[in-house]
Chains A and B, each alone.
Chain A
Amino acid sequence: MELEFKDLTKNFGGFTAVDHINLVMTNGVYGLLGVNGAGKTTLMRMLCTLLLPTSGTITYNGKNIFKMDGEYRKRLGYLPQEFGFYPEFTVQDYLLYIASIKGIRPAVARKRVKQLVAKVGLSKAADKKMKKLSGGMKRRAGVAQAMLNDPEILVLDEPTAGLDPNERIRFRNLISELSEERLVLLSTHIVSDIEYIANEIWLMKDGTLMHKGTADEIINSMPEQVWQCFVDKNMVSEYMKKYKISNMKAEPQGVELRIIAKERPSENARSTQASLEDVFLYYFGEKAGGEDVAI
């Protein structure tokens, strides 16, 4: 199975949300990383045929997905950023309803729902109304609905948004488990969500792909080094003006800074291994520290 983005562009009026993207995807987990407004959701919506590209196209095994209609959609599983559901339905009834619009026959649907409810850890809540579920449980129900048709292509848009750390780890493991023998595209602005599970990471900014590769390749692509040093509390603001600070930790003897710079920022600074978080900060700069962005 091969999905190909060919010169994919999407304009909304005068604004270009996705700008001439060319990519080929096969089975595996792809992590789409970028700040809010980078074009991640627009790209995913085009992949799900919710939006038509302004120019360019997406092909599935050489066929235009926008002409394949149901033949393409039956291979697709999608969890949108804002996961909507019918609040009065029980988890089981909701999943059976989604199975019906996915064209799954009742005997298969009943079996799948039972299996998936167990897999996402909602067996005890199967008869609970959707509106009674916690945020994490709702997202798990969302993954279950996306998996009902055993999709070849699984698209998850910000699946961990609003989840607590425990739920996020659990979710990560679940996605890892579900990713065998399928293509998973996972968008996030939380670096740790994809650092360990994505086979390939794409950095997206202003509608274009800045970098793509494995976590190590992306880390190595950063032209600057990461330094750690202790500085006096009074000096912190000066360092912040001068350098990109990826982390700071207050200690009794001063403040420990993690600095991204080409050259050694101070005499006591020692070079250290860069992480994906550092790379994220390096490429996305000020925006990486926006209120919606969590590293």
Chain B
Amino acid sequence: MNLKEQLTIYKKMTQLEPREAEIHKIVSRSEEIFFQAELKEQLSYHEFLWAQLRVIQKRWWLLQFLLLLVLWAVLAEGYEAQYVQRGMGIMASLFVILIIPELWKNRSNQSMEIEAVSYYSLRQVYAARMLLFGVTDIVLVAVFCQAVSVGLHVELTELVVQFLLPLSVTSCICFGTLCSKRYFSEASAIALCVVWSAVWMCIILNENVYEKVAFPVWLGLLGLASACLAAMVYRTLKYCNNYVEASFDRMEVG
């Protein structure tokens, strides 16, 4: 017997015949073990955050981006630059108004009761949505400020006064009305932001007021608005789970 024949015989002897039924059994058993292991585990916070990201309608972010793009284009035109720059406050309010439908989504769809009794409660749902909107909006606003400051040579002081200050105040109104002790619908929150926007325009277009307020004062006001915003976010997260108590006037004692 030569080596070739010996190798053929050896190959036949060591050849394994896979049994399909056994393979299926092992696959099925592995799936079952995996499922049992998954059953014992809870969804991690970053997975929960990812699930929330998937739920948020991205069209609002697209609209926010388009709004900043339009503002950039108008500023680039340079037509009556002084007044256009002062009009940035309206766009800042609109920018915030665009997140209201998503933040009010569970409220307007009456989904809060089910979310409040889940493992990740309403507080965590709001925290996740605020985090996602916060991060995205900070990135969008930072890119916009960079673009108009470097590309269009709009002074940073102008951006702080004309854009960031009204943006912060509108955000304060938005988070102040969400989960406040008095019930505010989506429409009333938007209306309050629009009223603020009109008030802001009256202030900013009045030369007597605008010229008299020094930049450090505007900066101080921005600091105050930011602190107020942080307090509103904290209050929203603290009290959102008590919304049933807060909305008793509207609910039926069944």
Interface residues of A (CB under 8 A from B): 12, 15, 17, 36-42, 45, 48-52, 69-70, 73-74, 76, 78, 80-87, 97-98, 100-108, 111, 145, 149, 157-158, 187
Q: List 16 A-B contacts (CB under 8 A).
A: A37-B252, A37-B253, A38-B254, A45-B244, A48-B116, A52-B245, A80-B113, A84-B106, A84-B114, A86-B111, A97-B51, A98-B114, A104-B43, A108-B35, A145-B114, A158-B254
B252 touches A76 (CB 8 A): no
A111-B254 in contact (CB<8A): no
Chain B 231-254 interface mask (CB, 8 Å, partner A; 1/0): 000000000001011001000111
Q: Given the complex of chains A and B, what is the CA–CA distance between A236 and B52 in angstroms? A: 62
Cβ–Cβ contact A108 & B39, under 8 A: yes
Q: Taking the nearest CB of chain B, how far is it from the CB of A95, in angstroms? A: 11
Known: A84-B112, A108-B38. A49 touches B254 (CB 8 A): no
Number of B interface residues at 8 Å Cβ cutoff, please give it.
36
> Do most interface residues of chain B lie in helix, strand or loop, or is the interface mixed?
helix
Closest to A82 in B: B110
Report B's interface with A, CB cutoff 8 A. 34-35, 38-39, 41-43, 47-48, 51-52, 55, 105-106, 109-121, 124-125, 242, 244-245, 248, 252-254
Given contacts A100-B48, A100-B51, contact A105 B254 (CB under 8 A): no
Say yes or no: B120 contacts A103, CB within 8 Å: yes
Known contacts A36-B252, A39-B253, A84-B109; is A105 also within 8 Å of B43 by CB?
A: yes
Q: Which residues from A are CB-within-8-Å of B43?
A: 100, 103-106
How far is A104 from B51 in the complex, measured between Cα atoms in Å? 11
Interface centre among A52, A74, A80, by most B CB within 10 Å?
Answer: A80
A76, chain B: closest CB distance, angstroms = 6
Given known A-B contacts A36-B254, A37-B254, A51 and B244 have beta carbons under 8 A apart: yes
